[in-house]
Every structure is written in C-alpha cells, then in structure tokens.
C-alpha cells in the first residue's frame, strides 16, 4: 500500500501546533511588544498555528482593564500584521486576553499574575504551560526573574512546562553576560531558556544551512582552499530613531556585532551537525565561536565610526551628535568593522570581514563568500580586465535570496570575460511569503524547539570576541563618515591593507 504522506506524523508539511499554553509578556505596552510580538501572535492565530486553548497575558504599570488591553493589542496587531486582517480571528483571541496591572517590584501584582494563570488553567484549559517573554529593559531582568522564582511560576513540573524568553542585549560584556546567565539559570533550567536573536528566525539564515548541507554543489568549495575571504554586512540606512538612550549606552559593536554578525559567522563557518537538532547545531556554532581569533593589529583591523551630517536618498540627514538625546561630544560608534579569523582546518588563513553601521547607503544584510581567483587564465590579460572574484552571496534582507557571481564571455567576436550574476529570489520561486522572524521564533518557543536560539555558552564566547575590541576602542574617538557613505575611510583601508575591497551591495 502506498503510504499517505498526509497521515504521516513525520511529514514536515503538516503544521506543528503547540500544546495548550499561555504566553505571558512582561512589558506588553513597550515598543517591541507592539511592533513585533502582538502582530506575531495574531499572524500565528490567523495561520491556525496557535492551540485552541491559548491565553495571552500582559503585565505593565498602566491602570488598564482587560478590555483596554485587548483594544491596544488589537490596534498593534492590526497595524503590523503580516497576514490579512480577519476580525473573527482576533475576536477569538481577545476572549483569552488578560491584563495584570502592577510594577515589577510589586509582590501583589505577581501573586495576582500567578493566580490568573491558575484560573486560566480551569477556564481555558491551558494545561499549566506558560512561556514568559521578558520584553523589558535589561536592568529589570533580575527583579522579574526573582518574582517568578518567589511565586513558583518558573517551575516546570512533570506534565507542565514553563519557559522564559530573553531579549538581547544579553549583558554588555563577558562578565555581565555571565552574571545574567547565572541568574537566569538559577531560576529556569537551561533547556527552558530561549535567547532571542531574531536574525536566526529569518528564512534565509536557515536557508544557509539548507544551501550548505542539502546540496553537493557548494560544500566542496566551502573552505580555505577555495574561499579567499568572507564578508558579512549588516547595513542600515536609518539612524537611531527615538532610541538615543539605549544606543548611547550600547553602540554598533554591542548592538549588532556581538549577536547578529557573530551568529551569521558561526552559521557560515560551522561544520555539518550530526543531525538537525538544537543540541547539535548549537554545538557546532559554539565550536566556531570558540575558534574565532582577533587580529594583533587592532589599529588597522578594528575600525569604528560615527555618522556625520550627509545626504541619503536625496534627503539631508543630520549627524549622530545632532540626534535628539545624544551628547554633543558622544564617542558612541554607529559603525563597526573588524577582521576576524576562524582557527580551524577549514578556515585557517581566511579573513572574515564583519561590518555593520547606521546611515549607510541602503538597508542590506548579506554574507558573501569571495572565492580565490583561478590559478591560471588561458586568456590575454586584456580579456579578463573586468573579471573579479567569483562570489556566492546569501542575502538575508531585503530581497531574500542567493546570488552567484562568475565570469562569462561577452557576446561578440573578441574574447572578453566579464562578471555576470545568477539570482535566486525567494519571492520568485515560492508563492508562500516568509513568516516574520518573531512569528517563527515565538512559535518555536511554544513548541519547545530551541534550534534557532543561541545557548549561553555561545553568548559568552561572543562576548569574549567583543571585549578586547571594546577595550581597545575605549577612550578613542570613532572615525567620522558622512551619512549616506559606506562607513569611514579607515574601513576601506582595512581591506586595502590586504589587497581587498568591500563589496558594494
Ligand atoms: N524595540 C525593539 O525594536 C527591540 C529590538 C531588539 C531587542 N529589544 C529588547 O526588547 C526589550 C524591550 O524593548 P522595548 O523597546 O520594547 O522597551 P520599551 O518600549 O521601553 O518597553 C518597556 C516595557 O517594560 C515595561 N516596564 C518598564 N519598567 C517597568 C516596571 N518597573 N514595572 C512594570 N513594567 C515596566 C513598560 O511598561 P509601562 O511603562 O507601560 O509600565 C514597557 O511595557 C529590551 O530588552 C530591548 O533591549 C527591543
């Protein structure tokens, strides 16, 4: 008999729906909750990916009732939902939305929250399962975690899971991240902790693993024998928006390099995992992060910059120091670039150039493998003047896809070889649009699938890379660059020192 794949529980096409549960969001009135989390909850509900027995709880200081809260949540979800709006879907969700008012240091509020969870078990059959999302300022983590511990809310017991979602930044250096990890681990067991790096929820980042490990074409050349260098870029055209307070304290290296870029490096450089499971993938990533080397000559190979007034898309853009809330003599970097090595047999000698910045010419995130030149070209030099390195570019955002750049003959009677591009665009090959990163990651939390969440050891290994850079930069002034340029000159000099150039994505 031919097996019916639709009946096969292992069929990956069948949607995975979590067990009955509650999602508790601390900081539900904040920016992240409104822009990302609430829309993601709606989108999941709209796609039928939430369990029938589901409840959404929020805790914040404002004096709201369940109805006010349901209204705010509806507006936020409606504004930013990815999938079409269906009132009936929201109505169903709204019936299980609860708001608990109180401050994080208020014992009564947490007792009330614990009671509400208990009541929902009876009234909504959530089975005692709950995920707690810390969408709050990092300084508030200790007090909230302690409250959860005090009330017994954090305890997973047989037949009931309790999970916690921690937002970045995971500390500000190695010492503080260790402290934070120790605190989180003292309240929740390691497998119940989900650290969000939303980049890992992006479809193309996951496709990087498919590209490498599901094909025979790429892996044989995915090493230092063939790859000359790797460039990982996360560029933003926007400035800091209204987040001066946060950004002044953080800067580009802590905000992006420490997490997103090092995670992309780890996924690019890691060995094949024994199986596609959280444990094995995280093990391989950790091995890479531990093998990352920092250059001795940081003056040349670790560059930070700060944008000055300039032009972007025909509009004047003010300089960082003129942004509201930024000190007139601020030395916070809005651009960071570094050359790292990965000391493994596969990558020894291959530089990994990482860069990130704000107010760059365009918003783009990509990983580019720059291949070595052919060892011999049987053409006249003049025939190949316009031939560059072969490149494999994985574009994470926008226009998610993969581009292969290679030499081709220019049509005509003479032999002239020039670079051409072959493009794969997600939007063209698949009719289904990609879920938002938060949608995917929230679902994974509720399913208990930790594959796309970095483990604490990865976070600590990443800080071990960043700390020496921060130490070197402390007390220095970032190089200026004009808004609308690809960072400071020193970043170009960094690559020029080794005879290379940045890609212009
Ligand atoms: N926004 C983003 O795009 C983004 C991106 C990546 C990571 N993150 C991270 O996500 C977390 C949240 O960021 P956010 O931008 O959403 O922050 P936010 O807009 O400042 O929101 C903070 C939330 O915490 C609540 N809160 C603060 N102190 C409280 C207290 N003592 N008692 C009760 N509630 C309190 C606030 O509620 P009330 O003031 O209403 O009481 C508000 O709902 C942070 O860890 C941030 O680093 C944010």
Q: What's the pLDDT tens digit per position in 246-296?
A: 899 999 999 999 999 999 999 999 999 999 888 999 999 999 999 999 999
Q: What percent of the chain has pLDDT over 90?
A: 77
Rounded distance between C-alpha atoms, residue 108 and residue 36, angstroms: 29
382's CB contacts (< 8 A; 6+ apart) are: none
H/E stretch holding 310 = strand 310-312
Tokens of 466: 């960043």
Residue nearest to atom 32 of ligand 1 (CA): 103
Q: Counting atoms of ligand 1 from 1, which one is nearest the CA of 104?
A: 32
Work out the pLDDT band at 9, boundaries 50, 70, 90: low
Measure 263 CA to ligand 1 centroid, in angstroms: 24
Which one of 24, 28, 32 would you pick to mutate in the ligand 1 pocket, going by the greatest count of ligand atoms within 8 A of its CB?
A: 32
Rounded distance between C-alpha atoms, residue 454 and residue 283, angstroms: 10
Question: Across all residues in the chain, what is the average pLDDT?
Answer: 92
The mean per-residue pLDDT over the stretch 472-499 comes to 97
pLDDT of residue 382: 85
Measure 33 CA to ligand 1 centroid, in angstroms: 8
Residue 225 CB neighbour total at 10 angstroms: 10
Work out the pLDDT band at 242, boundaries 50, 70, 90: confident
Q: Which of 257, 300, 234, 239 is nearest to 491 (CA)?
A: 300
- The predicted-structure confidence for 170-198, as pLDDT tens digits, reads as follows 899 999 999 999 999 999 999 999 999 99
Residue ranges of domains in the chain: 21-167, 201-496
**Verdict on whether the full-model pTM lies above 0.85:** yes
Q: Counting atoms of ligand 1 from 1, which one is nearest the CA of 34?
A: 16
- The predicted-structure confidence for 161-171, as pLDDT tens digits, reads as follows 999 999 988 89
* Pocket of ligand 1 from Cβ distances under 6 Å: 27-33, 60-62, 103-104, 135-138, 140, 167-169
Residue 421 CB neighbour total at 10 angstroms: 11
The mean per-residue pLDDT over the stretch 137-144 comes to 90
Which one of 108, 137, 172, 184 would you pick to mutate in the ligand 1 pocket, going by the greatest count of ligand atoms within 8 A of its CB?
A: 137
As annotated, the active-site residues are 260
Tokens of 342: 């990965």
Region of 210 please: left (phi>0), alpha (psi -120 to 50) or beta: alpha
Q: Counting atoms of ligand 1 from 1, which one is nearest the CA of 27?
A: 43
Which one of 36, 60, 176, 436 would you pick to mutate in the ligand 1 pocket, going by the greatest count of ligand atoms within 8 A of its CB?
A: 60
Q: Counting atoms of ligand 1 from 1, which one is nearest the CA of 33?
A: 16
CATH 3.40.50.1000 fits 21-167, yes or no: no
Report which of residues 129 and 69 the model is more confident about.
129
- For residue 25, pLDDT beyond 70: yes
pLDDT of residue 6: 46
CATH 3.30.360.10 fits 201-496, yes or no: yes
């Amino acid at each position: 008999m031919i097996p019916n794949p639709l009946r096969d529980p292992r069929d990956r096409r069948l949607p995975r729906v979590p067990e009955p549960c509650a999602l508790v969001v601390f900081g539900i009135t904040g920016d992240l909750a409104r822009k990302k989390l609430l829309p993601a909850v709606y989108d999941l509900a709209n796609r039928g990916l939430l369990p029938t027995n589901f409840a959404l709880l929020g805790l914040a200081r404002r004096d709201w009732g369940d109805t006010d809260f349901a209204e705010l949540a509806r507006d936020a979800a409606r504004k930013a939902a990815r999938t079409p709006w269906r009132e009936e879907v929201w109505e169903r969700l709204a019936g299980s939305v609860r708001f608990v008012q109180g401050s994080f240091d208020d014992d009564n509020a947490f007792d009330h929250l614990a009671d509400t969870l208990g009541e929902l078990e009876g009234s909504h059959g959530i089975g005692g399962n709950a995920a707690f999302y810390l969408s709050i300022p990092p300084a508030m983590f200790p007090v909230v975690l302690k409250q959860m511990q005090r009330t017994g809310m954090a305890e997973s017991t047989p037949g009931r899971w309790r999970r916690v979602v921690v937002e970045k930044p995971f500390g500000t250096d190695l010492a503080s991240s260790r402290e934070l990890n120790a605190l989180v681990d003292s309240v929740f067991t390691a497998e119940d902790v989900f650290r969000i790096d939303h980049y890992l929820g992006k479809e193309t980042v996951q496709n990087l693993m498919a590209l490498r490990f599901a094909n025979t074409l790429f892996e044989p050349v995915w090493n230092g024998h063939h790859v000359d260098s790797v460039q990982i870029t996360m560029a933003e055209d926007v400035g800091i928006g209204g987040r001066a307070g946060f950004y002044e304290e953080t800067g580009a290296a802590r905000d992006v390099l420490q997490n997103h870029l090092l995670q992309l490096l780890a996924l690019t450089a890691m060995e094949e995992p024994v199986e596609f499971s959280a444990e094995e993938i995280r093990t391989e990533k950790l091995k890479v992060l531990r093998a990352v080397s920092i250059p001795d000559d940081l003056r040349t190979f670790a560059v930070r910059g700060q944008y000055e007034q300039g032009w972007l898309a025909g509009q004047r853009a003010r300089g960082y120091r003129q942004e509201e809330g930024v000190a007139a003599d601020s030395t916070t970097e809005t651009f960071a670039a570094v050359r790292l090595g990965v000391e493994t047999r596969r990558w020894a000698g291959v530089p990994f150039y990482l860069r990130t910045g704000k107010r760059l010419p365009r918003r783009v995130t990509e990983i580019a493998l720059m291949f070595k030149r052919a060892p011999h070209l049987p053409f006249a030099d003049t025939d190949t003047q316009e031939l560059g390195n072969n490149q494999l570019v994985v574009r994470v955002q926008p226009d998610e896809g993969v581009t292969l750049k290679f030499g081709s003959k220019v049509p005509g009677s003479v032999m002239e070889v020039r670079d051409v591009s072959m493009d794969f665009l997600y939007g063209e090959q698949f009719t289904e649009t990609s879920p938002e990163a938060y949608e995917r990651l929230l679902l994974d939390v509720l399913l208990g699938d930790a594959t796309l969440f970095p483990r604490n050891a990865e976070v600590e290994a990443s800080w071990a890379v960043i700390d020496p850079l921060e130490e070197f930069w402390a007390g220095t002034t970032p190089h200026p660059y004009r808004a609308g340029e690809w960072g400071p000159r020193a970043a170009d000099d960094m690559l020029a020192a080794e005879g290379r150039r940045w890609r212009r994505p």
